[in-house]
Amino acid sequence: MDSQPKVLFYGNSLVLAGVQATFKGQAGFEVIALDQPASESELLGCDPNVVVFDMRALESEFLFVQMRERPGVLLIGVDPESHEVLLTGQAVCSISLEQITQIVRGLVGPRAV
């Protein structure tokens, strides 16, 4: 039996709260919230498939830890001021919460149980 993809929301900004609320309403995902700052062991211990974070409130070390230790994890950085989203190194402009949900669903699940 496959487990549900884990979506980690890292930080406590209002933007992340909105995106997190969207995912909590979706079946097939395990939603995890972790406030900043968190230790490297806390981040890696969550074992997420996807990490969603506010790019304005992020310390740069976070990205390097995730990319080095978990290269297969999808990183989604949300910038509330410019409405841009960074997907593991690719910038996408003017994306909606529904589009973020579709991207994650297409890349990591949900998986059949």
* Predicted structure pTM score: 0.70
pLDDT of amino acid 89? 52
pLDDT of amino acid 68? 73
Q: How many domains does the chain have?
A: 1
113 located within any domain = no
pLDDT tier, 113 (very low <50, low <70, confident <90, very high otherwise): very low
Tell me how far apart the alpha carbons of residues 43 and 59 are, in angstroms, rounded to a whole number. 13
pLDDT single digits (tens) 6-47? 888 988 788 888 888 888 877 788 898 888 777 777 877 888
Provide the 10 A C-beta neighbour count for residue 61: 10
The domain containing residue 95 runs over which residues?
6-48+58-108
86 located within any domain = yes
Provide the residue count of the chain: 113
